[in-house]
């Protein structure tokens, strides 16, 4: 899995990029989810500077060697690559199509 956070002070926006790789997907197919734990807890998820303008991009790359090299080089090439085929589909991506899950507290 590849994870990076972009905290853009110009737009006051935070974007967490998560790239699921083939081995992650294989584990998830066996009901083994992955979690992103905070750095403070020993994990890899960096702090979100702009929580009121936080976005999450999740991508899947079956062969991520090239993507890992882009990430090592730094810059925005990594983010542009992940969004190369992004298409907004209101009938699928719109707010009306999202299932919100509420947790009933038994207490």
Residue 76 belongs to some domain of the structure: yes
Domain residue limits at 92: 2-97
Classify burial at 106, counting beta carbons within 10 Å of its beta carbon; exposed 0-12, middle 13-18, buried 19 or more: exposed
Question: What is the average pLDDT across 8-22?
Answer: 92
Contact, 82 vs 57, CB < 8 A? yes
Residue 92 belongs to some domain of the structure: yes
Residue 106 pLDDT > 70, yes or no? no
More confident call, 10 vs 103:
10
Residue 105 belongs to some domain of the structure: no
Residue 77 belongs to some domain of the structure: yes
Domain count, the chain: 1
The two three-digit tokens of residue 62, written as one number: 């079956």
**C-alpha Rg value of the chain to the nearest Å:** 16
Residue 26 belongs to some domain of the structure: yes
pLDDT at 70: 86
The two three-digit tokens of residue 74, written as one number: 């730094």
Q: How far is the CA of 59 from the CAs of 37, 41, 56, 67, 107, in angstroms?
A: 18, 24, 10, 11, 37
Q: What is the overall mean pLDDT for the chain?
A: 85
The predicted-structure confidence for 50-91, as pLDDT tens digits, reads as follows: 999 999 999 998 877 888 888 888 778 888 888 888 887 777
């Amino acid at each position: 899995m590849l994870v990076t956070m972009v905290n853009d002070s110009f737009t006051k926006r935070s974007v967490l990029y998560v790239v699921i790789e083939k081995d992650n997907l294989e584990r998830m197919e066996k009901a083994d989810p992955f979690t992103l734990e905070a750095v403070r807890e020993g994990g890899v998820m960096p702090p979100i500077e702009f929580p009121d303008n936080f976005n999450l991009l999740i991508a899947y790359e079956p062969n991520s060697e090239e993507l890992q090299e882009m990430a090592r080089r730094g810059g925005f090439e990594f983010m542009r690559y992940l969004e190369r085929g992004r298409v907004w589909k209101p009938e699928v991506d719109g707010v009306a199509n999202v299932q919100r899950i509420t947790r009933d507290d038994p207490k």
